[in-house]
Amino acid sequence: MGWVDKRIKPSEITPEEVFVRRREIVKSAVALGLIPGLASESFAAVLPAEGDRLENVSRWPGSLDEEPNSFEDVSTFNNFYEFGTRKEDPSRYAHRMKTDPWSVKVTGECSKPGTYTLEDILKPHALEERVYRFRCVEAWSMIVPWVGFPLGDLLKRFEPTSNAKYVQFFSLADPQQMPGIRYPVLKWPYREGLRMDEAMHPLTLLTVGMYGRVLPNQNGAPLRLIVPWKYGFKSIKSIVRIHFTETQPETSWNMAAPHEYGFYSNVNPNVDHPRWSQATERRIGGSGLSALLSPRQPTLMFNGYAEEVASLYTGLDLRKYY
Ligand code: MTE
């Protein structure tokens, strides 16, 4: 991940209404039989279509009361290297990814391994909207209302054994749908991992939506992690496999540049990235002069979630285990 500080041109932004309207047009066209090849079951899945409003979402009381970024900021300035390395590539190309049907393979140290459909995964869980600060390792941040439920509630259902000390996640890696897979910028499939106690922490969110709507593909539909006290790259997108393991698993960024990206990757203003400081961050967003003038602000320890998570790391040298 280099330092990329590229502004999106206003002409490249899809406003939320246009985005949603586009879905409506596609839906009507399918209903009228104008678009062949898309079976009606595409819209009878467990999640509504991309961009549709999610029902029965409760508000989580711990949300930040900061003004969220705009939907446009969060859906057009993305890192999803499977679709290219430029910030605008995912919003341009991710519509090629088919998210329905979707299933997740569960493997390793658990009593209930198997292949679970998206419906199996989501059905028992109530959705919450949680406004979190999202801090990218590239020293920018956003405020995002994610929709999801605690990952731990799902992991428990697979009955991890006492040997499960870590959990690893893998993204979809399909060169037919993901043009970026052609380039060996990272080890594909994209993989990430958490220590079991981090994965079970109530702040760790298995995420299906944002801004009350189904996740846009570029933000990691249909299922992604959000780990709010860690740098954004831990928040793996479009998950197709969950693997319980006894030993610390491989993670794509650590494999690519181990001295730059550690396994823990906790947001920490006191430990700089070898190529830039992490002491401050810039809130992305806005346009024109207001964006150019957006001031840098201090990075918060554990991204502002120290009270909740610092105890997970008691006795761990956070300089060594960055
Ligand atoms: N997941 C996959 N599969 N591929 C990626 O390239 N990028 C990561 C993370 N998850 C990435 C990924 C990085 S570097 C960041 S900062 C966040 O996704 C960006 O999430 P956003 O696009 O929703 O802001």
pLDDT for the residue numbered 16: 54
Indicate whether 288 belongs to any domain.
yes
- Contact 14/72 with Cβ under 8 angstroms? yes
Residue 285: which pLDDT band, with cuts at 50, 70 and 90?
A: confident
Residue 43: which pLDDT band, with cuts at 50, 70 and 90?
A: very low
Among residues of the chain, what percentage have pLDDT more than 70? 84
pLDDT surpasses 60 at 125: yes
Q: Residue 25: what are its φ and ψ, rounded to 5°? A: -65, -45
Query: What are 159-195's pLDDT values in tens digits?
Result: 999 999 999 999 999 999 999 999 999 999 999 999 9
The closest alpha carbon to 211, from 5, 314, 72, belongs to 72
Indicate whether 122 belongs to any domain.
yes
| Residue owning the nearest CA to atom 6 of ligand 1 | 80
Distance of CA 156 to the CA centre of its chain: 21
In the chain, how many domains are there?
A: 1
Query: What are 96-107's pLDDT values in tens digits?
Result: 999 999 999 999
Indicate whether 81 belongs to any domain.
no
pLDDT for the residue numbered 11: 40
Please give the model's pTM, rounded to 2 decimal places: 0.87
- Contact 79/224 with Cβ under 8 angstroms? no
Indicate whether 129 belongs to any domain.
yes
Q: Is the CB of 278 under 6 A from ligand 1?
A: no
3-state helix, strand, coil in the chain (%, to 5): 25, 25, 50
User: Which atom from ligand 1 is nearest to the alpha carbon of 232?
Assistant: 16
Indicate whether 245 belongs to any domain.
yes
Q: Kindly report the CA angle at 64 between 61 and 67, in degrees rounded to 5?
A: 125
Indicate whether 265 belongs to any domain.
yes
| Residue owning the nearest CA to atom 16 of ligand 1 | 232
Q: Is the CB of 94 under 6 A from ligand 1?
A: no
In single-letter form, the type of residue at position 46 comes to V
Give me 266's structure tokens. Answer: 């906790």
CA distance 21 to 116: 32
User: Which atom from ligand 1 is nearest to the alpha carbon of 180?
Assistant: 6
| Residue owning the nearest CA to atom 9 of ligand 1 | 233
pLDDT surpasses 70 at 57: yes
CA 173 to centroid of ligand 1, rounded, Å = 14
Average pLDDT over residues 84-97: 97
CA 253 to centroid of ligand 1, rounded, Å = 11
Residue 213: which pLDDT band, with cuts at 50, 70 and 90?
A: very high
Residue 240: which pLDDT band, with cuts at 50, 70 and 90?
A: very high
Query: What are 156-166's pLDDT values in tens digits?
Result: 999 999 999 99
Residue 51: which pLDDT band, with cuts at 50, 70 and 90?
A: confident
CA 164 to centroid of ligand 1, rounded, Å = 25
- Contact 56/126 with Cβ under 8 angstroms? yes
CA 66 to centroid of ligand 1, rounded, Å = 22
Strand order of the sheet with strand 166-171? 114-117, 103-108, 239-245, 166-171, 191-195
Residue 34: which pLDDT band, with cuts at 50, 70 and 90?
A: very low
- Contact 190/82 with Cβ under 8 angstroms? yes
In single-letter form, the type of residue at position 157 comes to R
Q: Is the CB of 60 under 6 A from ligand 1?
A: no
pLDDT surpasses 60 at 61: yes
Indicate whether 196 belongs to any domain.
yes
Please name every residue paired with 205 in a beta bridge, in sequence order, or none if there are none: 150, 226
CA 196 to centroid of ligand 1, rounded, Å = 21
pLDDT surpasses 50 at 35: no
CA 142 to centroid of ligand 1, rounded, Å = 13
Domain span including residue 308:
54-70+94-171+189-313
Indicate whether 1 belongs to any domain.
no
Report the CATH number that the domain containing residue 193 is assigned in CATH: 3.90.420.10
The closest alpha carbon to 60, from 137, 150, 138, belongs to 150
* Per-chain mean pLDDT for the chain: 88
